Amino acid sequence: MAKRFQPGIVSANDLLSGAVIYLAADGKWVSSMTEAEFITDAERAEERLTLAESQPEIAVGAYLAPADNTDAGPVPNHFRESFRAAGPSAPARKSWGIA
């Protein structure tokens, strides 16, 4: 059984920093979820995921994250995305002595 499409945004991690990034409507990666393109149909979602996956030198682990659209832009509607949007929960790798 096919999974039901849910509107959302393309989310990934920046290859170099590991930070959460989002795909904007102009095809650029942004750090703020509210600047991400809100995708409302499955065909557009596939196109945007294909674009994201074609940029492995920038983004890794791209997926369609469920979200709600508001006047201020997309906002998370799932705990995982709220947690990711809030930023790292652990100190930066340098503070651990890891290169």
> Which two structure tokens, joined as six digits, stand for 13?
């991690």
Query: Residue 54: what pLDDT?
Result: 96
Domain boundaries, the chain: 36-63
Q: Is the pTM of this model over 0.85?
A: no
pLDDT digits (tens, 9 = 90+) for 56-96: 999 999 999 999 999 988 887 776 777 577 666 555 544 44
Mean pLDDT in residue range 31-58: 95
Q: Are 33 and 74 in contact (CB under 8 A)?
A: yes
| Nearest CA among 75, 19, 24, 1 for reference residue 10 | 24
Is the pLDDT at 36 greater than 50? The verdict is yes
- Please tell me the distance from the alpha carbon of residue 6 to that of residue 70, in angstroms, as a whole number: 16
Model pLDDT, residue 45: 96
95 phi, psi to nearest 5 deg: -70, -15
